[in-house]
């Protein structure tokens, strides 16, 4: 079973006086609650099959981004659920891991960046911070990691958060 976000983050800043707590709750609903609801619904089948769960988080859970409080909280909670479920469900032979992407070149990402003035320059600036190849992560790279985590070849991997980001989340701050 794979969990991923339904909708990308809303811009929810503590400084924004217009955004109320309902905006944060909406972001949690869109980016967190379904992980729990779906897992709870399929848990009997996972126990029977000794299946795997792969949650999709975000580097924002670790690094923050500014102006994305609800999204950051939701993705941080996804990482916490990953570890908690791994501990709880391992007794049933169920492995739980998370994939943590950073800047992935999806159609949704392209739309988001295209809203910036000088969007091509913005993309180059973001890509330049990726330490491995100065390029965006491709969706296939995320898919390959998910496929590996769902396979028997990762039978010893449980409760882990695996970053597929070319070093973006951890190394860009050390190397700049």
Active-site annotation, residues: 71
Whole-Å CA distances, 54 to 31, 154, 161: 15, 12, 10
Q: Is the dihedral of CA 24, 25, 28, 31 positive or negative?
A: negative
Nearest 5°: the CA angle 87, 91, 94 is: 75
Contacts of 154 (CB under 8 A, 6+ apart): 95, 97, 148
Q: How far apart, in whole angstroms, are the C-alpha atoms of residue 136 and residue 99?
A: 16
Residue 145 neighbours by CB distance under 10 Å: 20
């Amino acid at each position: 079973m794979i969990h991923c976000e339904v909708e990308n983050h809303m811009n929810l800043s503590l400084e924004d006086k217009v955004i109320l707590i309902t905006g944060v709750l909406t972001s949690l609903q869109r980016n967190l609650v379904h992980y729990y609801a779906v897992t709870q619904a399929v848990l009997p089948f996972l126990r029977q099959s000794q299946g795997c769960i792969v949650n999709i988080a975000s580097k924002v859970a670790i690094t923050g981004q500014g102006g994305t409080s609800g999204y950051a909280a939701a993705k941080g909670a996804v990482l916490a659920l990953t570890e908690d479920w791994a501990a709880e469900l391992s007794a049933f032979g169920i492995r739980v891991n998370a994939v943590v992407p950073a800047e992935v070149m999806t159609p949704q990402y392209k739309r988001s960046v295209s809203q910036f003035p000088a969007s091509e320059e913005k993309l180059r600036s973001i890509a330049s911070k990726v330490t491995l190849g100065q390029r965006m992560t491709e969706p296939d790279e995320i898919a390959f990691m998910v496929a590996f985590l769902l396979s028997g070849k990762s039978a010893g991997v449980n409760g882990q958060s695996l970053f597929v980001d070319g070093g973006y989340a951890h190394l860009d701050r050390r190397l700049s």
